Amino acid sequence: MKKLMIMMLASLAVVGCAKKEKMGLREVLIERFKDDQDLKDYKLDPAEVADCMVDEISSSLPGFAGDPRRAQFFEAYAHFLNVKSMADGEKAIAEFEKLFGSKQKAREAAASLPDHEMTCMGKAIDNGETDGHRVK
């Protein structure tokens, strides 16, 4: 009985950590999407697209929910989203090179963001349509 209780508490702790580690990235994405014209044109919820992107990124990361490194990965992606220039981009790549394992892998991670965004916008559009008509 004690083992079962300990395992349940551990599971809840891991789930809580997993949600917390994603929140920073989610907030950055929502803020970024608030003024996105494509989302406005298609009447998409920025939070829905942000949640999808966080899930897409999360599924591509090594480790498991609650792994301390995952929070660092989410921080890196949030940093990549806030890059304003090529020089800032190169600094971000260099800063997270060790985390991703190489400069090339850090570049690939940063370059994957537009793909995740397009995938999630497509999913949100598909989820909002039935027989070609928008569902409100």
Domain of residue 98, residue span: 2-134
Q: Read off the pLDDT of residues 25-36 as tens digits, 9 standing for 90 and up.
A: 999 999 999 999
- Output the six-digit token pair for 30: 């929502």
Q: How many domains does the chain have?
A: 1
- Its pTM surpasses 0.85: no
Instruction: Round to whole Å and give the CA distance between 65 and 36.
Output: 30
Q: Read off the pLDDT of residues 77-103 as tens digits, 9 standing for 90 and up.
A: 999 999 999 999 999 999 999 999 999
Question: Tokens 């400069």 belong to which residue?
Answer: 103
